[in-house]
Structure 1
Amino acid sequence: MEDATDSTHGCGNPSDPEGDRCSDSDFGPSVLGTKDYWEDAYQKELETFKDIGDVGEIWFGEESMSRVLRWMDKAKISENAAILDIGTGNGAFLVELAKHGYRNLTGIDYSAASIELVRNVLQAEDLTEVTVKEMDFLNCQGELKDFDVCIDKGTYDAISLNPHDTEKGKKLYVQALKDALKDKGFFAITSCNWTKEQLLDRFREGFEFVQALPTPSFQFGGKTGNNVTALIFKRVH
């Protein structure tokens, strides 16, 4: 975990500099919001992993995982806490969480190829006790409950880029998150499409803002902004 630079590969709209706040729908749909895109991407990563053992791209870079892990340490999240990785992708974050000592881990993804890849990666790391499920977070039918921490690193971004029923998808996401978390459970989200203010607005009902995690900043035209936003919320009833 030495890379201190965030990758924003696939981001639809990096967070604007302070003062240039935009609407909740200021960028168009993208193939990054489709299941077909991710199924194809993870099928290729699965084949690569089987060939040469390369797990593939770490979404937002390794520092994005380190940042959340540092917060979990400071927040004294128990090693037995029930943790959900929403849209686990290649399972890289599950591996890091397990290596960090967390024992009650679940990863979900709606891509069958993603889940097969994760299972291969976990087996290679001898982490067979981690739970992984092929599941659409927006249609989990109440199966996900009582989590102490939910982590999202790009999944809400992808949902926001879906060409179909984008607003409905974002609302379903918030409701699924409410259902999955315990009262006073934590939600850690990393986004490259949404500013802090936009995320605060989206998760204003049922959640309490805890803190923003520091991310690399840039200056343009005399203003300061961030390519990536990382926030922590707490579930409140």
Structure 2
Amino acid sequence: DSMEVATENPHGCENTSDAEEERDSDNDVGPSKLGTKEYWEDAYQKELETFKEIGDVGEIWFGEESMSRVLRWMDKAKIPENAAILDIGTGNGAFLVELAKHGYTNLTGIDYSPASVKLARNVLQAEDLMDVTVKEVDFLNCEGELKGFDVCIDKGTFDAISLTPDNAKEGKKLYVQAVKDVLKDKGFFAITSCNWTKEQLLDRFSEGFEFVQELPTPNFQFGGKTGNSVTALIFKRVH
């Protein structure tokens, strides 16, 4: 087992550090298979089969640390246990499991991949968490289907949308609008990203959101420069 560098390496992260300086928030990281529905459907279908065979949940997006980081913030921010919480792009549902174990009772997970939804439901059922809602929803086109949330959490979904081959620019606009639509006034939005810097995210979510804080993430050194491979920010919805 080779020694691993102490950075979180999610299975959806493409290394973008080399071009980071030249890029402003509207230049795209370039299309990628990670931006396609087929890629995720295939990945979750495989994870679903594995889960049914051996009960292994598959990879945790951004690792366990990213989940505990958001949970620690929720504790500090005193998010009530009955707060309506939306997990955007729930994947295998692992974060919903953590939230439920942490005592949160009003949880919804969404994903546009049917296999992800099946997998997440299987994972929740295995944990005996039957009162967590998981829906197959395309977040960018959810036309008022979801609303009134106190907290929205995203680990890597905005990243994936930024990599979509068809129209990433439009996708990012739709995404920002969708978060605005589903959150209550003064509701919180927690985003973890490995493709965008703090500055780029602040720029992207400047309208309709107020920056609350940055959550500490591991630093790495690359070519003499210190940077963060993962950025985690908290915003508040303001009208």
Superposition TM-score, scaled by structure 2 size: 0.94
Letter of the 1:22 counterpart: R
CA distance in 1, matches of 2:232, 2:141: 25
Alignment match, 1:78? 80
Contact 2:162/2:172 (<8 A) preserved: yes
Q: Using the alignment, how far apart are the partners of 2:225 and 2:178 within structure 1?
A: 36
Aligned 1:15-54 pairs, distance under 5 A: 20=21, 22-24=23-25, 25-54=27-56
Matched, 1:60 2:62: yes
Partner residue, 2:207: 205
Q: CA deviation at 1:26?
A: 4.3
Deviation string for 1:42-64 (max 9, x for gaps)? Answer: 00000000000000000100000
CA distance in 2, matches of 1:156, 1:207: 16
CA-atom RMSD in angstroms: 1.6
Does the C-alpha gap of structure 1 residues 13 and 206 become closer, same or farther in structure 2, counting only changes over 3 Å?
farther
- Work out the percentage of aligned pairs sharing the same amino acid: 82
Q: Report the residue type matching 2:220 in the other structure.
A: F
Query: 1:16-165 to 2 correspondence within 5 Å?
Result: 20=21, 22-24=23-25, 25-165=27-167
Structure 1: 4+ residue segments shifted above 4 A: 14-17
Q: Give the secondary structure class of the aligned counterpart of 2:43.
A: helix
Higher relative contact order (CA 8 A, sep 6+): 1
SS at match of 2:146: coil
Moved more, 218-227 or 200-209: 218-227
Q: Secondary structure at the match of 1:138?
A: helix
- Segments of structure 1 that go 5 or more residues without pairing to the other structure are none
Q: Which amino acid aligns with 1:118?
A: A
Q: How high is the TM-score relative to the length of structure 1?
A: 0.94
1:8–1:228: 8 Å Cα contact kept in structure 2?
no
Task: Report the AA paired with residue 69 of structure 2.
Answer: R
**Distance across 2 between alignment mates of 1:14 and 1:93:** 25
What CA distance in whole angstroms lies between the structure 2 residues aligned with 1:80 and 1:168?
34
